[in-house]
Amino acid sequence: MVTVVDVDPQKLIEKTAEELKKKIKMPEWALYVKTGAHKERPPDKVEWWHMRAASLLRKIYMDGPIGISRLRTFYGGRKNLGHQPSHFRKAGGKIIRTILQDLEKLGLVKTQKKGKKGRTITPKGQKFLDKIAKDVSS
């Protein structure tokens, strides 16, 4: 049986983004926001929201339970400070939080309150990603 671990992440995220495009609507404000303090401009791709949602879903599948703070660190980057040395900045939390709320409404992700806190993948979400992984591998 093919799982998310066995397939190319780029192809999996692209295919998952196509599937999530049918289920998740990008908010109007998302066209004008940067993804973090380390970026100078908003994303160029029109469908970046769904790519980020697919990437988040895969990240939770691989590393869950995982919280918003760790996800902000993962999607962060180096901020160019001109002639001064660059420093790391976390990604924006609003985008990550909004996408995770949408994924929770779909039933693909749930909040874990006991033990290690954060978001985990649900059996429905695992089945969703494994089905896409099977399609990508063939």
CATH of the domain at 30: 1.10.10.10
Those residues whose C-beta lies under 8 Å from the C-beta of residue 95, and which sit 6 or more positions away, are 30, 33, 35, 52
What local confidence, expressed as pLDDT, does residue 1 receive?
Answer: 80
Q: What are 11's two structure tokens?
A: 């192809």
Q: How far apart are CA 91 and CA 39, in angstroms?
A: 9
Q: What is the mean pLDDT of residues 15-24?
A: 92
Residue 108: the pLDDT is: 93
* Banded model confidence at residue 78, pLDDT cuts 50, 70, 90: very high
| Phi (first) and psi of residue 60, to 5 degrees | -65, -40
pLDDT band at 116; cut points 50, 70, 90: confident
> How many domains in the chain?
1
CB 5 within 8 A of CB 134: no
pLDDT at position 39: 83
> Which tokens hold the place of 76?
């962060």
Q: Which domain, by its residues, includes 96?
A: 4-137
Radius of gyration (C-alpha) of the chain in whole angstroms: 16
